[in-house]
Structures are given as C-alpha cells and as structure tokens.
Structure 1
Amino acid sequence: MPRLSHGLVLVSLLLTTGCSLSGERDEVATRLRVAAVAEQSGQGDVALSLYEAAAQQAPNRPDVQRRYAGALLGHGQPDQAIEVLQNALQRNAGDPGLLAEAGRAQLALGQAEAALVTYQALLRKAPQNVAALNGQGVALDLLGRHSEAQQSYGAAQAVSPGNVAAANNLALSTLLEGRAAAAATLFSVLDRPGVPERVRQNHAVARAAAGEAVENPLAQALGAVLR
C-alpha cells in the first residue's frame, strides 16, 4: 500500500472528523481539536487557519483568542498576536491567560517595559503564576535589572521547585550579571539527561565565561564576550 503524505493524512483526518462530529453543537471545539492535531502533524499553516476561523466564530471566548494568538506567535507573527490579544482584552479585561500570552508576545517584540507591566498586572491577580514570574524575570533581565529578575525566578522556583525554565533563567541571569563561576555551578545542577539542549549550551557558555576550555566553538566565543 502506498504511503500517504502528511498532507493527505491530515485531509483524511479532517474529513473523518467532520463527519463524526457533524452533529455536535460546538463547531469551535471541533476546529480547536482538529487544529491541535494539525499542529502535531506538522501542518502549521492548516492549524493556523483553523485557529483563525475559531477565533472569528468565538470573539468573546478568551481561551480561543489566546490559542489563536499563540499560534500566531509560533508562526513568527508577534505583531498580529498582539493585535488579537489587545482586542480580546478589551472584551475580557484582566483575563490571566490573555495577559500571559500578551507578555510573551511583547517579549518576542523586544518590548521589555510593556511586558513587565503586563506580567505585573497578571501577578496582582495571580501572585503564584509561574509563567508570569518567569516572564517578569525575563523582562527585568532585558532591562538590566538582574537582581530583581533573580528574585522573580526564585519565586517561580518556590512555587514550582522542578521548573527547568526558571532554574535555567536564574543561572543565565547570574551569568549576565557577571558571575560566571556561580552561573556554571547553577547550570551544572541542571545539566542532566533529558534537559532541553539550550540548557546544555548555556552551561557551556557559562563554563567558557568562567575560564574553562569547552569544545563548542560558539560557546567558547560567547563565553569570551561575557568574561
């Protein structure tokens, strides 16, 4: 039997799903489910169009608007994501999910000040929101406020002790502050099987910045800059 391409498999799935769910009342939920499958199948453009259709059909549902904005971010369209989120926040002021996604989009655009304001607004509503604490730390680091950033990452770790992103960001912030040896020590605790590759790369940069010889030429060069 000839092997179907991803596109044909997805089309088949779309048709099958449409038939089996034709009697369901919530067409938006159907689109969201199929969009998620499309993403997992590597059909990002199809997923984005489905999220857009769902967002147009449900303009007052913050969860749908958030997922559409997230898809736009994933496709490298932060400006469009911000526009979607701003419109959604006008209808759903203070929604935590929308605020978190808006902070991500603002960071993607390099708008650290705006992102900080957004994350602070979210943290007033949800002081233990780990994503907001992490995002706030990133914004503070981008603004050169490393000590405050580290406090934010520490707060995220207190809420979620195993959070790799917070631990990585804390170590990276320490490196950016000029404490390479301390950063390398923090990264060494994280650098174990199964961690994201960026953690290993950051560890190599920290070691190079601390004066160690590393095999990765890029890490060696970045480390030299950070000494």
Structure 2
Amino acid sequence: MSSLSPLFKPLRIVLLAGAAMVAISACAATRPPTSALGYAAGQPQLGIAELTTRYRANPKDKGTIITYSAALRAAGQSGQAVAVLEQGVGTYPNDPDIAVAYAKALTADGRFEQSLGVLDRVIRPDAPDWNALLVKGAAMDQLGRNAEARQVYGQALVMAPGEASIEANLGLSYAMTNELGAAEQHLRRAVQMPGATSKIRQNLALIVGLQGRFDEARKLYAAELPPDQVESNMAYVRSMLTQQNRWDAVAKS
C-alpha cells in the first residue's frame, strides 16, 4: 500500500450506491457532521423497517435485495448489507447487478481485497460496466493504490462520459494524496454534470474549505444545508486542519 500524505492519511472514500463521499476512518477523532443517506438514482427512499418487511416476505426478489442492501449501507449497517448480498449471490450466482451490489457492500465494510476479487470476476474486459469500474476504483483508493484507481476511473469515463459520480470519485482520489487543486478541478466538473448530488456538492465545499477558503466553503455548504449544519461542517473543516497541523500551510497557500 502506498503511503498517504500527512493531511489526508485519515481520509477514505466510501461508495454509497454509486455516489462518492469523504468520510473519516475510525482512527480519527471526529466524524463528518452529515452522513450520506442517498441510494442509487431512481431507487425509492423507503425506510429500513419497510424494506426489512419486504425482504422478509420475499428474500429472493432481486430488486428488494439491491434496494435493501443499499439502504443498510446508507444507514451504516455494512455488515448486515454484506449478509443480505451473500444470500443474494447464492440466489443469483451469475447476476452482474447483484455482484456489483455485493462489491459495494464489501467495500463499505472495509473488505477491499474481497471486493476487488468479486469485481474482477464480473467485469468484462471487452465491455466493462462503468458502475463496476467505479466501485473497483474506490476499493483501490482505499488500499492506497491511487494511481491505479485513477486509471480505472478514466476507463469508466470512457464508458460513461458525463457521469458525475465518476468525476467525483476521481476528485476524491486526488484529495486522498493531498492534491487539492486537482481534487477541486474534478469536483467542480462533477457538480456541473447531470445527476450531481448534494453529497458531491458538499464534498466540493469540503475540499475548498481544506484549502483555507472558508467564506467560499460556507457559501457552498449554505446552498445545500440548513444553517446549523453549515456551521457544524465548517467546524469539522477547521478540526481537520487542526488535527493535521495544517494551519501554517493554509496561511502560506
């Protein structure tokens, strides 16, 4: 695994239903004040209780398996999401949608090598699925294989040009190696694309804030969040800079 820079050593990318977000790993003292609770585009925003009832009633329904597992991941129940998908893989052993969902759950649960193994079996070299490539890149980023991850994201962009989540993950990959200018460039590109989510726009605000442009970051957050959450996020940005002793670097930038 390649070493990460002092500023971004705690940063990890978490794939939640195909969208990227920055999260702090368990070794850090603080957590982001907002969490990513979105599912994949087009999926109904159903509660865990209702989805649990549906799953229990028909645990072999493919759509329910994928939606339920995505909801569990979004709620931070990655281990349970893995268990659901393990059952799903047993029911649909050759289904690429189930396999990609399984890889997402494994990635969210920190089982990156296992996720890559699943993806390598499902990705077709002649016609790779961009969503599978997106998850593969994220798992590689988590393992510190950032250069390889960016090559995978580049391949995904060839398959799906204009897909905001790919540009966003590419930006976060650069953030993990403290290349904040490149990170901002890709995130700004992502927010201009159809399908850009609030979480992607919040990630842009985070990267802007980590460069010391606090007024601009606050404005970006204010367009997405209520005032109390804006201030929580700004406090979080400052806490990250304080933890990593980055104030002098920001002042000089």
Higher mean alpha-carbon deviation, 188-197 vs 164-173, is at 188-197
Matched residue, 1:17: 57
Tell me whether 1:107 sits opposite 2:138 in the alignment. Answer: no
Cα displacement (A) at 1:98: 0.6
CA distance, structure 2, for counterparts of residue 171 and residue 36 of structure 1: 29
Tell me whether 1:62 sits opposite 2:96 in the alignment. Answer: yes
- Structure 2 segments unaligned to the other structure (5+ residues): 1-48, 249-253
Tell me whether 1:136 sits opposite 2:157 in the alignment. Answer: no
Higher mean alpha-carbon deviation, 68-77 vs 140-149, is at 140-149
CA distance, structure 2, for counterparts of residue 195 and residue 106 of structure 1: 36
- Are the structure 2 counterparts of residues 43 and 110 from structure 1 closer, same or farther at C-alpha, using a change threshold of 3 Å? closer
Structure (1 or 2) with the greater strand fraction: 2
Query: Does structure 2 retain, via aligned residues, the 8 Å contact 1:133–1:156?
Result: yes
Among candidates 192, 197, 203, match of residue 234 of structure 2: 203
Query: Does structure 1 retain, via aligned residues, the 8 Å contact 2:168–2:190?
Result: yes
Q: Which amino acid aligns with 1:173?
A: I
Tell me whether 1:184 sits opposite 2:218 in the alignment. Answer: no
Determine which structure has more spread, i.e. the larger CA radius of gyration. Answer: 1
Among candidates 184, 197, 207, match of residue 150 of structure 1: 184
Structure (1 or 2) with the greater helix fraction: 1
CA distance, structure 2, for counterparts of residue 37 and residue 159 of structure 1: 23
Percent identity between matched residues is 21
With normalisation by structure 1, the TM-score equals: 0.67
- Are the structure 2 counterparts of residues 28 and 90 from structure 1 closer, same or farther at C-alpha, using a change threshold of 3 Å? farther
CA distance, structure 1, for counterparts of residue 181 and residue 55 of structure 2: 54
What SS does the corresponding residue of 1:159 show, helix, strand or coil?
A: coil
Among candidates 117, 125, 130, match of residue 159 of structure 2: 125
Comparing both chains, which one has the higher relative contact order based on Cα–Cα distances under 8 Å and sequence gaps of 6 or more?
2
CA distance, structure 2, for counterparts of residue 126 and residue 37 of structure 1: 22
CA distance, structure 2, for counterparts of residue 196 and residue 58 of structure 1: 45
Matched residue, 1:221: 242
Runs of 4+ in 1 over 6 A off after TM superposition: 40-43
- Are the structure 2 counterparts of residues 200 and 84 from structure 1 closer, same or farther at C-alpha, using a change threshold of 3 Å? farther
CA distance, structure 2, for counterparts of residue 106 and residue 78 of structure 1: 8
Matched residue, 1:32: 65
Cα displacement (A) at 1:190: 3.1
- Are the structure 2 counterparts of residues 125 and 204 from structure 1 closer, same or farther at C-alpha, using a change threshold of 3 Å? same
Matched residue, 1:3: none
Q: Which amino acid aligns with 2:139?
A: A
Aligned length: 196
Q: Which amino acid aligns with 1:225?
A: R
